[in-house]
Amino acid sequence: MSGKDKADGKPQETDSTTIQSANQARERECVHCCCQQKGRSRGLGCMIWTLVLLLIIVLLACGVFSISTIVASTDTGSTFTTKEVRKGDDNVVAVVNVHGLITENDTEGLFSVSTANSDRVVAELEDAYNDDSVKAIILNMDTPGGEVVASDIIYREVLKVRERKPVVAYASRMSASGGYYIASAADRFVVHPDAMTGSIGVILTLADYQGLYDKLGIKTKVFKSGKFKDTADIFEEPANTEHEKVFDDLVMEAYDDFVHAIVQGRGMSDAQVRELGDGRIYTGRQAVDNGLADQLGYYEDSIAVAEDLARITGSTVREYTTDSFLSSLTGALRPDVVPGAGMSGGHGSAGMYYLLDPSL
């Protein structure tokens, strides 16, 4: 080997080692990149499956897919989701829930709590009424009352249903005002000893914004076709007693309807109902003592009473379910009392209500 070759030998060996190291580094980098890409792919896949799972949960909660029994109403064409509370023979005791504020319009949304919508309650009662396997019906009450018209609509339906099948109303916590209005139509009213019931009366609340308007410098001018067209403006100064009387008459007319409903449903005298119906709340014990309820008991007792009236035993207990998405995930979320609900200045529309005093 020449001197020149010897001189060039060491650099050539160094260059070869450098190239080999660079190739190894690139190989390691490629492996690392592949691992990262696989990791991202796995992460994306997990995310997709998570979203799919969440979608399935939402569909299940919303009732698009249901593992409960679906019962079709032949008359209305509606469908109802039910669950078996107790498995028994072919005879069925149907449970219709009247939970929350009694309303005529459907105020339930995806994340809302349950309300006792009159259309829904009446449809379920009709479904049970037309189902030959249903021998008795329980109204499971948990409501502070609600709209005058909605309460009366359900009341009339209960009177119709009880002509063919026994109806038992049961209150574990509350069946006040409009709730009692409805319960009075049942064949029997079973109450928990400490339940809140009664509150027989009508309430109409109008908010006075005049002080706020004065502070903001807001003034209104009314053009009307008759002197009572702006009757709701009862806060004018001096007070308009004619306008106030209009509202007093409306309230008392609705109260008379309430009294008549109890007289018809419970078989009590007009004088008895008016004596008890001063708006006060009664416990279950007090209600049984004064004749507004039939007996103290629990949910199981109401089932036994329903079976006794229908002359059956060992029945299947089937409950109509109406839980919203939120309550399906977190459990029943129902208000004990709805503060200011459905009143002008509150959380709903203006109108007259058979409602437990919302200030409590």
Q: What residue ranges do the domains of the chain occupy?
A: 70-355
Give percent above pLDDT 90 in the chain.
48
Between 344 and 354, the more confident residue is 354
Choose the most confident range, by mean pLDDT, from 80-84, 195-199, 245-249.
195-199
| pLDDT attached to residue 68 | 40
| pLDDT attached to residue 224 | 78
Beta strands in 44-126 (DSSP E): 69-72, 79-86, 92-99, 102-103, 116-117
DSSP letter at 113 equals: P
Give percent above pLDDT 70 in the chain.
65
Tally of CA atoms within 13 A in the half-sphere of 338 that contains its CB: 28
| pLDDT attached to residue 130 | 94
Q: Flag whether pLDDT at 188 surpasses 90.
A: yes
Q: Is 269 exposed, middle or buried (0-12, 13-18, 19+ CB in 10 A)?
A: exposed
**pLDDT-based confidence at 29, cuts 50/70/90?**
low
Q: Flag whether pLDDT at 99 surpasses 80.
A: yes
Cα separation, 358 vs 344, in Å, equals 12
Cβ–Cβ under 8 Å, residues 79 and 70: yes
At 173 the three-state DSSP class reads: strand
At 250 the three-state DSSP class reads: helix
| pLDDT attached to residue 123 | 93
Between 334 and 88, the more confident residue is 88
**End-to-end alpha-carbon separation of the chain, Å?**
110
**pLDDT-based confidence at 290, cuts 50/70/90?**
very high
Cβ–Cβ under 8 Å, residues 190 and 295: yes
Q: Of how many residues is the chain composed?
A: 360
Cα separation, 115 vs 226, in Å, equals 38
Cα separation, 183 vs 188, in Å, equals 8
Q: Flag whether pLDDT at 274 surpasses 80.
A: yes
Between 118 and 1, the more confident residue is 118
Q: Flag whether pLDDT at 118 surpasses 70.
A: yes
Q: How far is CA 138 from the centre of its chain?
A: 18
Q: Flag whether pLDDT at 65 surpasses 50.
A: no
Q: Flag whether pLDDT at 294 surpasses 80.
A: yes
| pLDDT attached to residue 236 | 61
Domain 70-355 CATH superfamily: 2-enoyl-CoA Hydratase; Chain A, domain 1 (3.90.226.10)
Of 10-19, 142-151, 254-263, the poorest mean pLDDT is in 10-19
| pLDDT attached to residue 323 | 54
Q: Flag whether pLDDT at 243 surpasses 70.
A: yes
Q: Flag whether pLDDT at 42 surpasses 80.
A: no
| pLDDT attached to residue 142 | 94
Active site residues: 177, 229
ω into residue 238 within 30 of 0, thus cis?
Answer: yes
| pLDDT attached to residue 198 | 95
Q: Flag whether pLDDT at 109 surpasses 60.
A: no
Cα separation, 72 vs 70, in Å, equals 7
Of 279-283, 343-347, 354-358, the poorest mean pLDDT is in 343-347
| pLDDT attached to residue 330 | 44
Between 122 and 72, the more confident residue is 122
- If you average pLDDT over residues 218-247, what whole number do you get? 73
Cβ–Cβ under 8 Å, residues 181 and 156: no
Cβ–Cβ under 8 Å, residues 316 and 326: no
Cα separation, 110 vs 150, in Å, equals 22
- If you average pLDDT over residues 160-167, what whole number do you get? 96
| pLDDT attached to residue 73 | 40
Cβ–Cβ under 8 Å, residues 324 and 81: no
Q: Flag whether pLDDT at 319 surpasses 90.
A: yes
Residue with token string 């709805």: 338
Of 166-170, 300-304, 340-344, the poorest mean pLDDT is in 340-344
- If you average pLDDT over residues 156-180, what whole number do you get? 96
